[in-house]
Amino acid sequence: MRIDIITIFPDYFVPLELSLIGKAREAGILDVRLHDLRSWTHDRHNTVDDTPYGGGPGMVMKPEPWGEALDAVTADDPAPARLILPTPSGTPFTQEHAKRLSQQPRLVFACGRYEGIDARVAADAAERMPVEELSIGDYVLAGGEAATLVVVETVSRLLPGVLGNAESAVQDSFASGAMENLLEGPVYTKPARWRDQEVPPVLLSGDHGAVDRWRRHEALRKTARNRPELLRELAAQRLESMDRRDRELVEQLLADSGPE
């Protein structure tokens, strides 16, 4: 997969040289290219913003450098590109988005700043490539760089060969499975006893069926505590198809959580 990131702060993306993403880049699984938007400005101040039409606070990113940048970045590769605009007004980004985007050959991220990018940029780009506006949460960041890092890491770890153990992605919170959209429960490693705390005995039992059930039930309990709306959604969709013990636990957790 090729990922292009256009930003006025290329140094923000040093973390993409580290850990799994860095190794994937070294292995040729992932091709990440950074582009400084100011390279497509033509005045001595490298201006990328101006005052908004209609008045109001803040500044808006100018269409000219963005248009030239997108033209240049998408012209050097025949692979179809998809433009991603991180913005708090976008569609909430989920694991399902990540799975879908991981199937794309090429993603281009436009990191807005200030009050955002002139709306004509997205409209112009949409004439030659799909455009998606994505939000990583109901809050406002200083720019699109942090959100781009989140999306790139979430998507990249789903690419074949990026994770050392592909099963890890399947078992993550929000991954598909028999209990999809549950939060991942607690995890433990050696030593078996640490500061007077013991690893749950079931994890040392060698009984794989019991371990699977324990993990599933701990995931249900954590979801009930931290994201009760997900548990209610799961119950509405799958309660009748669960086995008796899972169903009884879900019913008890819903009763304990009270009304919405």
- β-sheet bridge partners, residue 106: 2
Helix (H) or strand (E) holding 218: helix 208-226
DSSP per-residue string spanning 77-121: --S--EEEEEEEEEEEP-HHHHHHHTT-SEEEEE--BTT-B-HHH
pLDDT classification of 178: cutoffs 50, 70, 90: very low
Helix (H) or strand (E) holding 36: strand 31-36
Instruction: List the catalytic residue out of 115, 133, 153, 218.
Output: 115
Residue 96 — φ and ψ, nearest 5°? -65, -40
| 115 and 233 together in one domain | no
Q: pLDDT > 90: what percent of the chain?
A: 89
Q: What is the CATH number of the domain that holds 31?
A: 3.40.1280.10
**What is the C-alpha to C-alpha distance for residues 92 and 23, in angstroms, rounded to an integer?**
29
Q: Give whole-number Cα distances, 179 to 35, 154, 200, 253, in Å.
A: 41, 20, 22, 15
Q: Among the three residues 164, 198, 232, which one is the final residue of a domain in this structure?
A: 164
| Whole-number pLDDT of residue 12 | 97
| 149 and 25 together in one domain | yes
260 in active site: no
157 in active site: yes
Q: What pTM did the predictor assign? A: 0.86
Instruction: List the catalytic residue out of 82, 88, 228, 238.
Output: 88
Q: Among the three residues 139, 164, 189, which one is the final residue of a domain in this structure?
A: 164
| 127 and 181 together in one domain | no
**Any known ligand binding at 137?**
yes
| 25 and 126 together in one domain | yes
**Any known ligand binding at 139?**
yes
**What is the C-alpha to C-alpha distance for residues 203 and 130, in angstroms, rounded to an integer?**
47
Q: What is the mean pLDDT of residues 123-138?
A: 97
Map residue 153 onto helix, strand or coil. helix
| 89 and 209 together in one domain | no
Q: Among the three residues 147, 164, 181, which one is the final residue of a domain in this structure?
A: 164
Asked if residue 182 lies in contact with residue 220, where contact means CB atoms within 8 angstroms, the answer is yes
**Any known ligand binding at 43?**
no
| Mean pLDDT estimate for the chain | 93
Question: Any idea which residue has 């099963």 for tokens?
Answer: 167
The predicted-structure confidence for 210-258, as pLDDT tens digits, reads as follows 999 999 999 999 999 999 999 999 999 999 999 999 999 999 999 998 7
- Split into its structural domains, the chain has a count of 2
| 145 and 232 together in one domain | no
Report the 10 Å Cβ neighbour count for 175: 17
**What is the C-alpha to C-alpha distance for residues 228 and 223, in angstroms, rounded to an integer?**
6
Asked if residue 47 lies in contact with residue 41, where contact means CB atoms within 8 angstroms, the answer is yes
Instruction: List the catalytic residue out of 49, 77, 124, 172.
Output: 172
* pLDDT at residue 173 tops 60: no
| 56 and 8 together in one domain | yes
Map residue 197 onto helix, strand or coil. strand
Count of residues making up the chain: 260
| 200 and 218 together in one domain | yes
N-terminal to C-terminal alpha carbon distance within the chain:
42
Q: What is the CATH number of the domain that holds 217?
A: 1.10.1270.20
* pLDDT at residue 177 tops 60: no
Instruction: List the catalytic residue out of 106, 113, 157, 216.
Output: 157
| 96 and 55 together in one domain | yes
**Any known ligand binding at 141?**
yes
| 91 and 216 together in one domain | no
Angle in degrees, 0-180, between the axes of helices 228-238 and 244-257, rounded to the nearest 10? 140
| 149 and 29 together in one domain | yes
Considering Cα of 142, then 150, then 224, then 89, what sign does the dihedral take?
Answer: positive
186 in active site: no
Q: How far is CA 193 from the centre of its chain?
A: 35
pLDDT classification of 76: cutoffs 50, 70, 90: confident
115 in active site: yes
| 108 and 186 together in one domain | no
Q: What is the mean pLDDT of residues 203-213?
A: 96
**Any known ligand binding at 50?**
no
Q: What range does the domain containing 115 cover?
A: 2-164
Report the 10 Å Cβ neighbour count for 118: 21
Amino acid in position 251: E
Asked if residue 213 lies in contact with residue 245, where contact means CB atoms within 8 angstroms, the answer is yes
